[in-house]
Structure 1
């Protein structure tokens, strides 16, 4: 990988991590759809044999621990306003705990793939990190990725658990992430 690509990678990491230190509106895409997609892809790609199930048990506990660590550092702000779908607006500031958790999920997923193969390459690490950063910058790219089951598992479990923990801490998040009603459904509820 050339120097220019490393500079681009560092810029991408900066962009991804910078967002964690700013308040952002909760997003169904980030907190419901992508974790759900990751869990479905995990179920589809999982090798359902004893060693894989054992590894899954370990990864699930680790992923939940990462989610707990991330959620503990997240600041939640309920604005009191409604969005265009009449859902409450909730802002999240994920902070450094989220960045550490993001890095941990990436490194654990990478390590689980590298350890059995017995070969480590800095170029491969940079390439995988580049793909992860691209997907975080351009969310739609996650839907075309082909990961191994353990990457989908740790990513899906940690993301789902993170959202679940935030909902327990601030119940308004549940309403903020609710599926929008169709226009027809909203019109039926309006007084005539």
Structure 2
């Protein structure tokens, strides 16, 4: 029974980590490498994440610099950034690509909050699915007479507590992201 609890806790924490990763990709007023590092660049016919073909740095709070390791990748990187739905405009000076991050409009901020809420709801759904799987595993253990009915109830209560705690953590992360996005 303990292995079922540990496994479900582990899987729920992975869902929470995925939520944090999704939040990192959301554009706020600040520049972060995670904003562009996963953009897929057509590098010699192969879709490659930007972080694998260039170094990305943050010289100031509102700008990014991208230094490709291969000079032939400049135009492909520029195209990929333009095609991404981030609304960023790259400036190529022959040595590095600069991206200035404009301040967000109120409307765009509200859209980003909606996206953050959607990510959080997806995380909650994933956690509920994990809870359901764990409860099914416990019922199977009880049916196979590996645990008693009292153990089943205790296990289900434990899984519910784990689920509630981690969903509360996801909600806290959403609140923090919402404040970050809405601050001027």
**TM-score (normalizing by structure 2):** 0.30
Q: Which has the larger radius of gyration?
A: 2
Q: Whose relative contact order is higher, 1 or 2, with alpha carbons under 8 Å and at least 6 apart?
A: 1
Structure with bigger helix share is: 1
